[in-house]
Amino acid sequence: MKNINNLKESENIIKYRVTSKGLSVKKVLLDNLGISTRLFRKLSKNKLIFLNNKKVKPGQLTNKGDTITIIMKDEDQNIKPQNIPLDIIYEDYDLLILNKQPYMVVYPTKSHKDNTIANGIAYYFNQKGINKKIRFVNRLDMNTSGILVVAKNSFGHQQMSRQFENNIVEKKYITIVKGRLKKEKGLINKPIGIDDDNPIRRKVKDEGKEAVTKYKVIEKYKDASLVEVKIETGRTHQIRVHLSSIGHPIIGDTLYNEETELIKRQALHSYSLKFKIPRTGKQKEVIAKIPNDMKRLIKLLK
């Protein structure tokens, strides 16, 4: 590839300045930048790693101040682009973080072939000239709102996926539950597994997987509570199951509670995410504003 020196950082181009002496290119990329072994092998095989603008072998030693450049090729996108408004709360070369509105399906399925978040992202990528596949790092149920993390390239995806898997990220939710919690703070440590009577549901069961949820009451109403929830594990329906298990199911949750005229979905919103920015390792927190239907619910309960 010609004119490496003129390439600027982008979704395709990552430049890393070496901060110490005597490490191999491979060690710098794996240990310092945090690239996975799998991605490194792919980049090395396709000769997409450069040291000071020249092609390099993985074992070559580096000096402090050297620049390593890695290139990620363009990719074909197979999602139909549709001009759907996106509430973008953070964006850099590797990540696109959205505040997902309720009732929106994240990815096309047989029953929802279009008008999904993915269709809107495909349109946004086309408009911005981002020739990459859409890689969701996390998912939210159709009726759960809040923070949705999308990677713009394979580097961003493996970096953020690893943070989620290793519980490096800190996820907080806001929810409105039935009843007034007696304790202002609490920890629910109960294993969760599939409900044998209904495979769509989950339930607390001894043979389930470990699940840990922390909660803090923000405000109490006549027969409801506004609660901040922090999850330390990521089990399916974890918050919904755990809160229901202590007698305080989420209002509007028809799977673990009952229908209500006050809100048409479970009152659950992913509002805060703390993570490390993939290229710099710096700590970052993003906040997703509470949607209008939950604001209305709070007013009604007051």
What domain count does the chain have?
3
Residue 235: give the domain boundaries: 171-270+295-301
Is 278 part of any domain?
no
Q: Are residues 162 and 94 in the same domain?
A: yes
Boundary-marking domain end, from 150, 166, 182: 166
Q: Are residues 144 and 215 in the same domain?
A: no
Please give the model's pTM, rounded to 2 decimal places. Answer: 0.91
Is 276 part of any domain?
no
Q: Are residues 263 and 176 in the same domain?
A: yes
Alpha helices in 199-287 (DSSP H): 238-245
- Measure the CA–CA gap between 268 and 142, rounded to whole angstroms: 11
Q: pLDDT, tens digit, for every residue of 30-51? A: 999 989 999 999 999 999 999 9
When pLDDT is cut at 50, 70 and 90, the band that residue 85 belongs to is: very high
Q: pLDDT, tens digit, for every residue of 99-130? A: 999 999 998 888 888 999 999 999 999 999 99
Quote the pLDDT of residue 109: 86
* pLDDT higher than threshold 90 for residue 77: no
Q: Are residues 128 and 52 in the same domain?
A: no
Is 127 part of any domain?
yes
Report the candidate in 32, 39, 6 with the shortest Cα–Cα distance to residue 18: 32
When pLDDT is cut at 50, 70 and 90, the band that residue 258 belongs to is: very high
- Measure the CA–CA gap between 239 and 230, rounded to whole angstroms: 9
Contacts of the segment 214-222: beta carbons below 8 A, 24+ positions apart: 214/185, 214/186, 214/187, 214/188, 215/181, 215/185, 215/186, 215/187, 215/188, 215/243, 216/184, 216/185, 217/181, 217/183, 217/184, 217/185, 218/174, 219/298, 220/180, 220/181, 221/180, 221/301, 221/302, 222/301
* pLDDT higher than threshold 60 for residue 2: no
> Is the separation of the CB atoms in 295 and 267 below 8 Å?
no
Question: Does the annotation count 141 as an active-site position?
Answer: yes
Residue 211 or 234, more confident: 211
Q: State the CATH number of the domain containing residue 223.
A: 3.30.2350.10
The length of the chain, given as a count of residues: 302
Q: pLDDT, tens digit, for every residue of 131-184? A: 999 999 998 988 999 999 999 999 999 999 999 998 899 999 999 999 999 999
Q: Pick the catalytic residue: 31, 141, 195, 196?
A: 141
